[in-house]
Structure 1
């Protein structure tokens, strides 16, 4: 078995590196001191690994109360819980505020988790020169730590706009801190500058020894730069501020400039030109099998750029599987997400020439649809038979069905998630699968490039990247070799196409909440009720009807940015709250 650094070092972190409040922000004490950590090479490395251990906090499917995530605050998914104190509920019903943002469940992690880890990075950098590590190792680990700091800052940028930049400072418990927010431009420039600096130091993905697999690489630096610059160029931040006056420059670029899109396109192209990465394509085993397998292949994986390494596990099966397979079905895909997947010929299901049939909606679909969503009749592994058997979601079906009379039941949408799950195991089986959490992968970079280059008016340059994604998906090329993509689209048409392609390709990968906000479309797509599919079985025949779910989503204009916790505003007079809160 491959030796995975993050997994092995996890043991070090949790047996030797949890500390008292003087430098690990309130974690339980094990009697360690700063001196005992940073005079020991193994524990020093373990301290850095502790910072790595938080990289997936936003992606984590159990982020809120062990079962929630931002995906349930969008038009992509319905939440299995409805308690008003649940963090995901607070987000989707529009009641998030500076006060409950701090006090409820895990909601404060938007602010506190990044800053806690930024502080750990700064402490690590301060202590690193005096550690017993070799000079080359110190240089590399300093670069890794700076990359991780940029990683945590990028979450602050997309959620808050400009934030306090603390540099290399390590504040102690007795320090009086009163830092103003830096401008949005200064915040972006700082993160990009850090990434440029450490990209020149960190190894390429192929240059790490096997035991160091999972660490930050030069490619990860370039990819994160691509993401940050794409966010910054987007309508919410590129002259589309929801603030006025002096605050506008704090939360966005004050005026629109196409050069920000040009920079984003160049950053994505820089990743592509390294030739470090490629899409995992396999349409021989089955159409779109490479898409399916990229989430179940930890090493080697040519598509993964930065990932949360995990031991063999049933992480997503436990979270997404239907009850008949022992899953918690915490997040259930909506009908509008299901309809966003095209047909196998690549045409939209709303195109009258696509071949979509409302009375038989699941045939001849984009192979990604079947790998992403469990629909009525989907075959999935069952411990009852030891084989793949159908999952029944029709009205009144035992175990997994929708209940139309109450719009509830095991499923509230008529669907369950399958994305990133292994179809040959289930949550209630004893089997595990090999996977890492895909925090950044190559398909995102191709989509980043296509989106950015289109916004510069060079729409034709977006086509090759989109064709590559659709070819890998197992969509039919068609006589024109366009994989169902309309030729000669306008910027506006291409924008809508890319937004939909991004939605389905990156489903459940911690993008939708950020995307609908940065595109400033959340008020249009995330207000009102999501859609469910009601399926009625009569004999061996099924009829299909789209209905509203029972959970009202409310997205207010101020929700394009998150509120800074009131406790932070109260203790730092220089801190300015985001507009609307």
Structure 2
């Protein structure tokens, strides 16, 4: 980020302002006060950078360098159960208000660790409030530029609130700095609807400012807030608000609001040059280019690789090679290994559903759709092209490694087979998505993690439109646009509302496989008790004659599927400090 030296100078101000005492009531020692921090344009810009500094890293930065999908049913982190990291604790239900492994494990001082979600978001909100209170025509004289910075601050605040809502539920709405307040007894949680209204207001005001661009076009701006991000935050917030978790009475008005937001977002984004990337496979192994008309017109917001100091190997593209790679390259672990449940979700290339469900609770006996052409002994033939872009499976061609064409040998005894160590897959699969098979060293990895992309707006619209108005042409068009990019046929006409809902949920899982959507989707749909219990895999055995046979196996029996896991507990310290912050159900 820009203004690094000034940023460091501001650190002492932020430290003082976070204490209970007045940060201005200090003995002069060379430190600047909060008022001093907004005396010039450069200092004001630098303070806005400190608001950005609280953004989480997402991607593979969940301790210990894993993906959020590993906490759900899309994948199995290979260091489980060998190591007692947060994945293991979450899977076994070892969470409490005093100790949430996703929220309080890892480094508290290094920004490459995604921890302290609750604190990070609130600090981001507090800094956004301070920034919005202090920016003025005196410290940023040019009205257009000042308008852009204010809009960025509002989108940041909306994003931090959305992050809190998804993980902890409704929060108090605070739009001013209350650091110096001594009595917090009047602070109470607002309703979810009120919080969403606040997010939408911030996003709408940012979108309305003509000075906020739709996309960034220079390296110095990479990772900044834009109109595209505001539309994405608004769309997601309204979708959550309409979903069963927060809409138990199925109020159609909420679905209509989400559908309207989706249509408005697509109209604005498509009208300003956004479109789906032409290749699903290559989208995830590239770094977004920055230009007025870039090659990547799908990315709405990427997580910028800043904040690592000299430890650049911790960047997303580098960690993929070190922590989520096949054994040939000597990684520390195989990492995020896709589950059989995810593999079973992929349709056949002809658009037919292959596996419609299971006859047993352990998912070892699939219900095969006879019209699909699926063969459980040849399960990887003729599947949705996104399957081949997402999963390394037994027999898949990885590529040329040291002059040798290398195929995945996931059978027992094969060089990539299940063997009970963290460097090997526990499910029979390795992650292909995000992994560039041409990369031969960690330093060569350059891809960044996309938190928001255009495909999500299409899928949000498809879901909200179907729930609000049934299987309309708009709902079909939205989902079929995503399928067309993937090389899949349109959904069959004449589906009922319930049938289209099921296809939309399948499509979301496939399109956003191993990203963060599924972790929250099963919660907002309130199906965690159905989707959160079992993770299975496929064990292959090679017979003496060289032929292969397979067997489905259970790899995880998850203990974090009850309704209380729909939200994380509020930190115990927060409940103690602010009595009006009632604890989430079940904690």
TM-score (structure 1 length as normaliser): 0.84
Match of 2:361?
none
Match of 2:23?
none
CA distance in 2, matches of 1:139, 1:77: 43
The yes-or-no answer on 1:371 pairing with 2:389 is yes
Match of 2:201?
193
The yes-or-no answer on 1:231 pairing with 2:240 is yes
The yes-or-no answer on 1:317 pairing with 2:312 is no
Tell whether the 8 Å contact from 1:393 to 1:402 is kept in structure 2 after alignment: yes
Match of 1:167?
175
Equivalent of 2:282, from 270, 292, 298?
292
Structure 2 unaligned segments of length 5 or more: list them: 21-28, 107-113, 307-314, 356-368
Tell whether the 8 Å contact from 2:59 to 2:515 is kept in structure 1 after alignment: no
The yes-or-no answer on 1:359 pairing with 2:359 is no
Does the C-alpha gap of structure 1 residues 204 and 420 become closer, same or farther in structure 2, counting only changes over 3 Å?
farther
CA distance in 1, matches of 2:482, 2:3: 34
Does the C-alpha gap of structure 1 residues 505 and 203 become closer, same or farther in structure 2, counting only changes over 3 Å?
farther
Match of 2:311?
none
Tell whether the 8 Å contact from 2:299 to 2:453 is kept in structure 1 after alignment: yes
CA distance in 1, matches of 2:288, 2:281: 14
CA shift for structure 1 position 25: 8.0
CA distance in 2, matches of 1:87, 1:491: 39
Is the partner of 2:15 in helix, strand or coil?
Answer: coil
Match of 1:494?
500
CA distance in 2, matches of 1:570, 1:577: 10
Tell whether the 8 Å contact from 2:151 to 2:206 is kept in structure 1 after alignment: yes
CA shift for structure 1 position 49: 2.6
Does the C-alpha gap of structure 1 residues 319 and 487 become closer, same or farther in structure 2, counting only changes over 3 Å?
farther
Is the partner of 1:530 in helix, strand or coil?
Answer: strand
Equivalent of 1:306, from 301, 304, 312?
301
Match of 1:269?
263
The yes-or-no answer on 1:454 pairing with 2:466 is yes
Equivalent of 1:510, from 516, 519, 525?
516
CA RMSD of superposed structures (Å): 2.9
Does the C-alpha gap of structure 1 residues 418 and 222 become closer, same or farther in structure 2, counting only changes over 3 Å?
same
1:72-102 deviation line (CA, Å, top 9, x unaligned): 2211111223378532223222232211128
CA shift for structure 1 position 474: 1.9
CA distance in 2, matches of 1:256, 1:30: 58
Does the C-alpha gap of structure 1 residues 576 and 392 become closer, same or farther in structure 2, counting only changes over 3 Å?
same
Is the partner of 2:397 in helix, strand or coil?
Answer: strand
Match of 1:249?
none
CA shift for structure 1 position 120: 1.5
Is the partner of 1:95 in helix, strand or coil?
Answer: coil
93-102 vs 357-366, which moves further: 93-102
Equivalent of 1:9, from 2, 8, 31?
2
81-90 vs 155-164, which moves further: 81-90
CA distance in 2, matches of 1:446, 1:452: 10
1:445-483 deviation line (CA, Å, top 9, x unaligned): 0000000111123313311112111111122x4xxxx2x
1:31-50 counterparts in 2 under 5 A? 34=34, 37-50=37-50
CA distance in 2, matches of 1:417, 1:521: 25
The yes-or-no answer on 1:468 pairing with 2:481 is yes
The yes-or-no answer on 1:128 pairing with 2:135 is yes
Match of 2:76?
78
Is the partner of 1:579 in helix, strand or coil?
Answer: coil
Tell whether the 8 Å contact from 1:41 to 1:132 is kept in structure 2 after alignment: yes
Structure 1 unaligned segments of length 5 or more: list them: 1-7, 240-254, 283-288
Tell whether the 8 Å contact from 2:242 to 2:258 is kept in structure 1 after alignment: yes
156-165 vs 257-266, which moves further: 156-165
Equivalent of 1:537, from 542, 555, 563?
542
Equivalent of 1:142, from 135, 150, 165?
150
The number of residues matched between the two structures is: 534
CA distance in 2, matches of 1:355, 1:293: 29
CA distance in 1, matches of 2:335, 2:284: 23
CA shift for structure 1 position 530: 0.9
TM-score (structure 2 length as normaliser): 0.84
Is the partner of 2:549 in helix, strand or coil?
Answer: strand
CA shift for structure 1 position 432: 2.8
CA distance in 1, matches of 2:84, 2:277: 43
Tell whether the 8 Å contact from 1:320 to 1:418 is kept in structure 2 after alignment: no
Match of 2:350?
345
CA distance in 1, matches of 2:18, 2:142: 25
Does the C-alpha gap of structure 1 residues 497 and 564 become closer, same or farther in structure 2, counting only changes over 3 Å?
same
The yes-or-no answer on 1:396 pairing with 2:404 is no
Equivalent of 2:453, from 441, 450, 455?
441
CA distance in 2, matches of 1:409, 1:432: 20
Tell whether the 8 Å contact from 2:539 to 2:551 is kept in structure 1 after alignment: yes
Does the C-alpha gap of structure 1 residues 257 and 386 become closer, same or farther in structure 2, counting only changes over 3 Å?
same
The yes-or-no answer on 1:411 pairing with 2:393 is no
1:388-446 deviation line (CA, Å, top 9, x unaligned): 52232211223x3113xx698711111111112222114x455233x332111110000
CA shift for structure 1 position 335: 0.7
Does the C-alpha gap of structure 1 residues 15 and 423 become closer, same or farther in structure 2, counting only changes over 3 Å?
farther
